[in-house]
Structure 1
C-alpha cells in the first residue's frame, strides 16, 4: 500500500512540474531568444521484494532547452552581417539622396552657374547679365558649402554612433562574462542559457564576428577581425578616442593592460563596422571628390578669368577664392616642424589623403588609405618644395624622427569655396586683345577672336597691323610677306586669329588692347567652356565628368548596399525560421502536451485516492 502511495505521489509531482514547464513555454511565446523547454522523465529505482522488483514510480531526470547549436550560430552570424549592411545602406542612401536630389545636389546650381556664363557671353555689356553671374556663382559656392555641412553632420553622427556603440559593447561583454561565470561548472538553468545567447546575438550585431563554445559551458565572443571581446569570465573593453590627426573625429580602440589597439572596418562588422565602412568607403571619398571638383573649378575658372579683361580695362583677377590643402600634425609628434601646402597641379590631385613621415633624415609619402608608397620629390624649401600627388609642401622648423603629418588636398575644399569679387564690372568677359577690320577693306574677310599663345602674357607688346598684298600674302607691321591659305591661322608676337571669308588686296586688320568698357565676349566664351575642359586626372576628365562620376559612384554604392541588405534580410529570415522550427514555442504542440499531462496528473491523483481508500479500509478492519 505504501508503494502505491509513493508511486502515485512521484507521478503527481513529476506531472505537476511538467505542467509548469509547459506553462512556462506558453508564457514565453513572445520572449525574444526564448527556447522551448522539454521535460525528460525517468523511472525511479525499483525495490527488490524477493520474488522480483517492483517499480517506484517516476521522476524528472532533466529539463532541457530544445536547441540546434548550428542553427543558433547561423542566426547569430547572419544577424551581424545584416546589421552591418542595413547600417551601410541607410547612411549611403542619405548621401545618394543628398547628391542626386535637384533641391540639394550640386548639379542644379552647377548648371545654373554655367548657363549664366553662357548668357553673359551673348551680351557681355549687360549689367543684369553680370549681376546674374555673380548671383549664380554665390549660389554655387553656397551649395558646395551646404553639401559639405551635410557631410560634416553625417561625420558627427558616425562619431556619436561609435561612442554609443562602444558603451553598448562594453555592457554586453560584461554581462556575457558574468553569465559565463554563473553557468560554468554546474548544470545551468535553460533561461540563463537563453539569456546569454540573446546577449551574444546583440553583441555580434554590433561588432560582427562569431561565438565559440569553450568546454561546453563558457562562450567566447570574437569580432569580425578576430579580436577577442569575451574570453570565459574576462571581458575586453572598447574605447572611443580622438583621431591623432583630426581630434574632432572618433576612433575605436580595443583596450588591454598597458596598450590600446586601433580598430577599423576590417576588424569590426555589425552596426559599428557598418559605420566605419560608411565613413571610410562612402563619406570620405565623396567628400574628397566634391572638394576636388571645387578645387578644380576654382583653379580652372580663375586661370581662364585671368586671361580676360574687365570693364575697367584691367586684366581679370581671382574670381573664386581657391581652397588650399589642409595639413594636420600627428598628436604624437615630438619635433618642431610646421608644414604648409598648396595645390601646385590641380590636374594631378586625386582627392586621396597623404601621410608624410620624417625618417632617417628624409621625407616619405604614403597613401593614407592603402598605405602604398607615393612618388615624392623636392626638399621642402620655398625654392624646392616637396611635390606629391599635385600638392607642393614647404616646412620650417626641425622635425623629429617618426614625426607624421596628414595632408588632405581636397577633404574640406568644398566648405571654403567662395566668390572673390563683388563688383559685376570686374568680371573679365572681354579678350585682352581685339582685331578690327579696316572700314575700307574690299574683301569678305571677317576676323575671329584673338588667342594669346602665352597665358601668362596675354597682351601684345604693342599694337600691330596686318595688311594683305593679295589673297595669298600678308605683312605684319611691314614685315613679310608671309604666305596665306584661306582658313589658316594668322599669328605673330604671341597672338593668333583666323579670318572667316576671303581678304582682298590692300585689306588691313589692326590688333591691339581691348580697352575699358568693351562689349567683347572673347573671354566669356572661354569661361563658358571651362566645365568641359579636360583639366582633371592628368587631362583625361572634365569638371562635368567629375560631377557626373561623383553622383554615379555614390548612387551605385547606395544601390549595391541596398541590394546586399535586402538579400541578407532574406537569408536572416531563413535562419530565424530554421531556429524557430526547432526552438520556437508551438501553441498546438504545447496544448497537446498540456492535455496529455493533465490526464496523467488526474490519473496519478486517482492512484493516491485509491491508496487512501485502501488505507481507510485497512483501518476500518482493524477497528472491528
Structure 2
C-alpha cells in the first residue's frame, strides 16, 4: 500500500477550505450584534502502517467551535442589569429634577406673590383694587399647585406606560427563548446561530431584570428573573404583564402567568429597569405627591384659618379663600382598600391638624377583636389607634382621624392611608368677593389660668347692634364649662350676665356665634373684643407674616420649606443616581471588554488567519499537482 498523496492533498484542501469559510464568516459578521467568534478545529485522520512505519493520511475538520465563556457572559449580564437599573433611575430622577427646577418654581413664586399681596392689603386695607390683586394671586397659587400635580400625575402615567411596554417585551422574549430551546433540543446544541440568538435575547432580558440562567443538557436554557420568578423552563414560557393596582388602581401590580395560573411578583426583587421604575414610583413620585398635597393642605388651612380670625369689609367673620381641607375635592384618594379585605368598613380621612402632618403614607391593619395599628411606610414606626365609638372614628394618627362611615372591619383587613392625597389637584380659590378678605382682626384672649384643653374660634357675627355685643371697653368674658355644657358670661366690669346651657360645639349669644373644641372637661375663660373698623389691618398684617412662620411638620417648617425640601430631596437623589450610573457603567464596560476579547471578532487576527489558510489551501493544492506529476511520470514509464 503506497502513501496516497492525492487523498492527503484532498483532505488538506477541504480542511483549508473549511477554515477559510469559518474565517470569512467571522469577518462578515464583525458588526453582527450578539455574534460569537467561531473556530474550526482540525484533527489528523487515522495513520496507516507501511513498511513497519506509520504514515499520516491527511486531516479533517473535527468541529466548528463557538467561542463562549459562560462566566464572562454571566458577569456581562450582571453588569448589564446594574447599568440599566442605574441608567433608568438617573433618567427618571433627572427628568423630575428638571420639572421641579424649571416648571416647579412657579409654586414658590406664586406663594410668595400671595404673601406680598397680603402685605399690600395690610398697607391699604380698604382698597378694593388691591384686594382684587390678592385674590388673583390666590387663584394663581391654586392653579400652580394644580399644574404641578398634573405634571406629577403625568410622570406616573409615563412610568406606568414604560412598565407595561417592558413587561410586553419580556413576554415576547420568553416566548422566543422557549421556541429556540425547542429547536436546540432537536438539533442537539450544534446550531451556533440559534445559540447566538438565544444569548442575545438573554442579554436583552438582563436589561429589564436580573437574569439567572440554568443550562440544560440539550442546549436549552431555563431562565429565572430575580432569583425567584421562573420565566422559561425548557420550551415552556411564562407571560409577564401588569394588572390593576391594589389598593390604588393607578399603581399597577406585576404578575407572571402560565396557563391559568397567575403569580404576583415583587418588582423590587427583580433588579434592572423594572425595579428602577417601580422604585421610582414608590420611593420618589408617591412621596413627592404626598408632600405637594401637604403643601396644598397647608396653604388652604393657613389662609382659611387666618380668615376666621378676622373680619371682612362688611364686619362679618372672614370666609374661606381656598377650598376647605376636608372638602370632597381635596380628599380624593386618601384611603385605598386592599382587594383581600373581607370586611365592609367604609373609611374616610379627615385632617384635624395640618401642622402635625408628616408627608408620609401609612398602612392601617386591623386584628380582631379590636386592635388598630397604623404603620408609617417612610419610617416603619407603628402606632396604635384608639376607636372613639361615640364619634365613629379612629384617633391617634399624625394630624388626622379615620372615620368609619359605614360597615365593620374583619380580621386581617388592610387599608393604605394617604392623608395628603388629592389636595394639590383639588385646591381652588373659592372666594369671589374682594370685600371678603378679612383684613381686620377679632380679639379673643384666653385667660392665663386656662387648662389648655379648650379652644374657641369665631363662626359668624349676626347682629353688631345686639345688647352687650362686645367691643373695646365693653368686652364680654365667657367662662365655659365643657363638662357640664354650660357657660357664664361677664361684662367688662365683671358682672355676671347669667349662666346658660349650650349644645356643643357652638355657642350663640350677644349677636355672634363661636365654636368650642375641648379635649377634656374643664372650665376655661375667654374674653371677646369684636370691634371693627374698615381701616383695621391687624389680620392682614398677621397673614403677611405667615410667610416666615413655621406652621408645618410639627411647627418645624414654613410653607415654602415643604416644597423646597422636596425639591432638594429630588435633586440630591438625581446627583446620587449620576454617581451610581458612572460606577455601574465602568463595571459593565469591563465585563463587555472581557467578552469581546474572547468572543468578539478581531479583524487583524482574522485577516492573518485568512492569509494563513489561503497559503495552506495553496500548498495542499500544490501537493495535488505534485501527485499528478508523479502519477504521469510512472504512467509514461510503462508505455
The TM-score range, normalised by the shorter chain, is: 0.7 to 0.9
Cα distance in 1, alignment partners of residues 143 and 300 from structure 2 = 14
Contact between 1:352 and 1:367, CA under 8 Å: does it hold in 2?
A: no
Question: Are the structure 2 counterparts of residues 433 and 536 from structure 1 closer, same or farther at C-alpha, using a change threshold of 3 Å?
Answer: closer
Q: Unmatched 5+ residue regions in structure 1? A: 435-452, 467-475, 481-491, 497-510
Question: Are the structure 2 counterparts of residues 493 and 393 from structure 1 closer, same or farther at C-alpha, using a change threshold of 3 Å?
Answer: closer
Cα distance in 2, alignment partners of residues 170 and 380 from structure 1 = 51
Aligned to 2:486: none
Contact between 2:393 and 2:402, CA under 8 Å: does it hold in 1?
A: no
Cα distance in 2, alignment partners of residues 368 and 193 from structure 1 = 49
- Are residue 559 (structure 1) and residue 575 (structure 2) matched? yes
Aligned to 1:394: 403
Contact between 1:10 and 1:57, CA under 8 Å: does it hold in 2?
A: yes
Aligned to 1:447: none
Question: Are the structure 2 counterparts of residues 461 and 263 from structure 1 closer, same or farther at C-alpha, using a change threshold of 3 Å?
Answer: farther
Contact between 1:221 and 1:229, CA under 8 Å: does it hold in 2?
A: yes
Aligned to 1:440: none
Which one is further off, 254-263 or 37-46? 254-263
Aligned to 2:434: 424
- Are residue 85 (structure 1) and residue 77 (structure 2) matched? no
Aligned to 1:133: 134
Which one is further off, 337-346 or 215-224? 215-224
1:315 Cα shift?
0.7
Aligned to 2:237: 235
Question: Are the structure 2 counterparts of residues 304 and 225 from structure 1 closer, same or farther at C-alpha, using a change threshold of 3 Å?
Answer: farther
Q: State which of 275, 282, 285 in structure 1 corresponds to 2:284.
A: 282
| C-alpha RMSD of the superposition | 2.9
Aligned to 2:207: 205
1:407 Cα shift?
2.2
Aligned to 2:144: 143
CA distances 1:311-345 after superposition (whole Å, capped 9, x unpaired): 11111112211223622333344443322221122
Aligned to 1:524: 540
Q: How does 1:149-298 map to 2 (within 5 A)?
A: 149-184=150-185, 186-215=188-217, 217-224=219-226, 226-255=228-257, 259-298=261-300
Cα distance in 2, alignment partners of residues 171 and 289 from structure 1 = 39
1:225 Cα shift?
5.1
CA distances 1:438-485 after superposition (whole Å, capped 9, x unpaired): xxxxxxxxxxxxxxx96514999623439xxxxxxxxx95689xxxxx
Question: Are the structure 2 counterparts of residues 375 and 454 from structure 1 closer, same or farther at C-alpha, using a change threshold of 3 Å?
Answer: closer
Cα distance in 1, alignment partners of residues 577 and 106 from structure 2 = 21
Aligned to 1:616: 632
Cα distance in 1, alignment partners of residues 335 and 393 from structure 2 = 18
Which one is further off, 196-205 or 366-375? 366-375
1:217 Cα shift?
3.7
Contact between 2:337 and 2:414, CA under 8 Å: does it hold in 1?
A: yes
CA distances 1:277-307 after superposition (whole Å, capped 9, x unpaired): 1111111111111111111221122111210
1:400 Cα shift?
3.9
Cα distance in 2, alignment partners of residues 290 and 414 from structure 1 = 6
1:104 Cα shift?
5.4
1:368 Cα shift?
7.0
Report SS of the residue matched to 2:310.
coil
1:393 Cα shift?
1.8
Q: How does 1:198-597 map to 2 (within 5 A)?
A: 198-215=200-217, 217-224=219-226, 226-255=228-257, 259-321=261-323, 322=325, 323-324=330-331, 326-362=334-370, 364-367=372-375, 369=377, 373-379=382-388, 382=391, 384-395=393-404, 396-433=406-443, 456-457=457-458, 462-465=470-473, 494=526, 513-515=531-533, 518-597=534-613
Aligned to 1:33: 34
1:581 Cα shift?
1.7
Q: Unmatched 5+ residue regions in structure 2? A: 445-453, 462-467, 475-490, 496-523
1:383 Cα shift?
5.3
Q: How many residues align?
A: 571
Cα distance in 2, alignment partners of residues 388 and 556 from structure 1 = 29
- Are residue 18 (structure 1) and residue 19 (structure 2) matched? yes
Aligned to 1:122: 123
Question: Are the structure 2 counterparts of residues 398 and 593 from structure 1 closer, same or farther at C-alpha, using a change threshold of 3 Å?
Answer: same
Question: Are the structure 2 counterparts of residues 592 and 398 from structure 1 closer, same or farther at C-alpha, using a change threshold of 3 Å?
Answer: same
1:98 Cα shift?
1.1
Cα distance in 2, alignment partners of residues 563 and 226 from structure 1 = 29
Report SS of the residue matched to 2:288.
helix
Question: Are the structure 2 counterparts of residues 113 and 208 from structure 1 closer, same or farther at C-alpha, using a change threshold of 3 Å?
Answer: farther
Report SS of the residue matched to 1:168.
helix
Cα distance in 2, alignment partners of residues 565 and 258 from structure 1 = 40
Aligned to 1:507: none
Cα distance in 2, alignment partners of residues 277 and 141 from structure 1 = 29
Which one is further off, 167-176 or 180-189? 180-189
Contact between 1:224 and 1:266, CA under 8 Å: does it hold in 2?
A: no
Cα distance in 1, alignment partners of residues 133 and 127 from structure 2 = 10
